[in-house]
């Protein structure tokens, strides 16, 4: 790892390539047989998956109820638009705030636990929120959820931008994605990031060195939950509704699958790849067969069995293999 300074510490080449692909997406997505709204969905889930990977990939904490915070964000956005004032900024602020509060409360229970107990408790808490969303009719609208959430214009003080078209919405989501990517990249390469990676490797030793492991685990969960909340808020804005489905065990499982298939355990970009693969699989397999989940599930099982490092891991070992063979060719010449 080279210690970068200046611009290269903030922006890297893979980042530029990703941004370039995503910025150009609206111009070619129609011609490959897909549709504009899919781009919005993909970018939102990329944000969700990136935030989730902070927990799973970098701190090694398996949360299996993360859909809950996504859902809290969605409901918070919807409720703020329906009952307070109509403003995107206020809505997203509420999404982040309430998801962070929910995450902080849950993390206070969780952060002493490890391993399987941790996973079990995240499932239990995720289900609590899911149940609340279904049963608390007066607030959440029950199984139907919140409908007809308005999508107000984006206010910048002196001027405002309408988000009615899918393209405008896409670029707004992309802008937030860029902020999240750069923010997370800096966080991971900060001293804080080093400590959470140490917790993943050996929690007990990290504690012995003198770090307050509980506080790190608590804060990383809260942070991850607030990013999930941001994604949820955007999702409610895009869907113009919020419903309990996104909080179910299945939705929570999907984000774990995205991160794993993409290769979040070994790469920063794993969640981004995984989210794209998931939605492409959904639309392409879904067009071909009604039981696309069956095939996606089998694909997922195959990934875990044969290449648990996911797509990014496969790419890394491919590159490493190529470099090694290049080294072998070089050696006789230099020696």
> For binding to other proteins (CB under 8 A), which residues are involved?
56, 60, 62, 64, 109, 112-117, 119-121, 123-125, 127-128, 131-132, 135, 249, 253, 256-257, 260, 291, 293-294, 296-298, 300-301, 304-306, 308
Quote the tokens at residue 23. Answer: 């910025």
- Nearer Cβ to other proteins, position 43 or 260? 260
Minimum CB distance to other proteins, residue 34 (Å): 24
For tokens 């859902």, what's the residue? 71
- Nearer Cβ to other proteins, position 18 or 63? 63
- Nearer Cβ to other proteins, position 26 or 62? 62
Question: Rounded to whole angstroms, how far apart are CA atoms 248 and 215?
Answer: 28
Question: Rounded to whole angstroms, how far apart are CA atoms 281 and 298?
Answer: 12
- Nearer Cβ to other proteins, position 121 or 188? 121
- Nearer Cβ to other proteins, position 81 or 224? 224
Instruction: Show Cβ contacts of residue 251 under 8 Å, excluding neighbours closer than 6 positions.
Output: 67, 70, 71, 245
3-class SS of residue 154: strand
Minimum CB distance to other proteins, residue 220 (Å): 16
Residue 107 to residues 69, 216, 233, Cα–Cα distance (Å):
12, 10, 21
Minimum CB distance to other proteins, residue 64 (Å): 8
- Nearer Cβ to other proteins, position 44 or 68? 68
Instruction: Show Cβ contacts of residue 98 under 8 Å, excluding neighbours closer than 6 positions.
Output: 72, 73, 75, 76, 229
Minimum CB distance to other proteins, residue 280 (Å): 18
For tokens 């899918």, what's the residue? 166
Task: Give the dihedral sign, CA 69/74/78/84.
Answer: positive
Angle, nearest 10°, between helix axes 166-188 and 213-239? 170
On whether the CB atoms of residues 91 and 80 are closer than 8 A, the answer is: yes
Minimum CB distance to other proteins, residue 67 (Å): 13
- Nearer Cβ to other proteins, position 113 or 197? 113
Minimum CB distance to other proteins, residue 290 (Å): 9
Minimum CB distance to other proteins, residue 161 (Å): 40
């Amino acid at each position: 790892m080279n210690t970068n300074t200046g611009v290269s510490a903030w922006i890297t080449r893979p980042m530029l390539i990703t941004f370039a692909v995503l910025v150009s997406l609206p111009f070619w997505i129609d011609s490959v047989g897909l549709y504009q709204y899919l781009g919005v969905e993909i970018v939102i889930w990329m944000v969700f998956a990136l935030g989730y990977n902070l927990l799973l990939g970098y701190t090694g904490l398996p949360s299996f109820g993360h859909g809950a915070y996504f859902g809290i964000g969605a409901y918070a956005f919807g409720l703020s638009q329906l009952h307070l004032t109509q403003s995107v900024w206020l809505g997203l602020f509420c999404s982040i705030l309430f998801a962070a509060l929910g995450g902080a409360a849950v993390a206070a229970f969780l952060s002493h636990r490890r391993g399987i107990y941790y996973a079990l408790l995240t499932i239990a808490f995720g289900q609590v929120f899911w149940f609340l969303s279904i049963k608390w009719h007066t607030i959440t609208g029950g199984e139907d959820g919140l409908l007809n959430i308005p999508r107000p214009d984006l206010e910048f003080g002196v001027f405002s931008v309408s988000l009615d078209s899918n393209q405008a919405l896409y670029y707004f989501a992309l802008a937030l994605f860029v902020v999240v990517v750069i923010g997370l990249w800096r966080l991971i390469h900060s001293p804080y990031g080093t400590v959470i990676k140490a917790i993943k490797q050996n929690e007990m030793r990290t504690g012995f060195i003198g770090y307050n492991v509980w506080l790190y685990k608590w804060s990383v969960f809260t942070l991850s939950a607030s990013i999930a909340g941001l994604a949820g808020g955007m999702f409610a804005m895009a869907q113009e509704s919020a419903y309990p489905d996104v909080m179910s065990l299945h939705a929570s499982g999907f984000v774990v699958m995205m991160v794993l298939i993409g290769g979040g355990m070994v790469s920063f970009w794993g969640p981004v790849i995984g989210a794209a693969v998931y939605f492409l699989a959904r639309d392409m397999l879904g067009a071909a067969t009604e039981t696309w989940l069956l095939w996606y599930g089998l694909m997922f099982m195959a990934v875990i069995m044969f290449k648990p490092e996911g797509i990014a891991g496969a790419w890394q070992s491919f590159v490493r293999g190529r470099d090694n063979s290049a080294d072998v060719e070089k050696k006789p010449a230099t020696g």
